[in-house]
Amino acid sequence: MKPTIACVGLMNPGDRYRFTRHNAGAMALDALWPSASYTAIKSLAAEIAETDEGDTRLLLVKPQTFMNLSGQAVGAVLKKFNIAPAKLVVFHDEVELDNGVVRHKFGGGHKGHNGLRSIIGVIGSADFHRIRVGVSRPANRDDGIADYLLSVQPAAQRITADKLLPVWQEIIGGLAK
């Protein structure tokens, strides 16, 4: 049996949020695996696609809960497919990084990100991989961060596969073991 890695793109569901900065995680999945065909699985509160990368099975997951409840979907997926937190990769928006900057992090706190907070709370562990997708901070510090994250990100600032691939390739080898 092939080892399985769950790749979760954090997001808010619905057309209204599709291209918002907060959906950078789901946009990252779409950039890396543009031909993935997702199926809604109501019992998991997620859309799921499967693909292979070498000898590894990848479960691509887009939670259909809102961001603050992402842990419900992630916890259900990990349980159903018997995936350990160490084999979880969460792609998420990161205001501390400039647009287009991508960084890998393993473990640590949620740094105020409610999607990560929810996942950590539900699975009972912070020991999972994160691919942090930079969306910058609002130019005007008086602008609320929530409004900024829920605003549409200009197409020129959205994440692209060429920015993601080096970070993804760096970690996939270690995860596949």
> Active-site residue numbers?
22
d(CA 177, CA 168): 15
Supply 60's token pair: 């691509």
Which residue type occupies 43?
S
Order of all β-strands in the sheet with 88-94? 39-41, 46-53, 56-63, 4-9, 88-94, 129-134, 102-106
d(CA 61, CA 128): 15
Sign of torsion over alpha carbons 64, 69, 71, 75: negative
Cβ distance 64 to 45 under 8 Å?
yes
**DSSP assignment letter at 118:** H
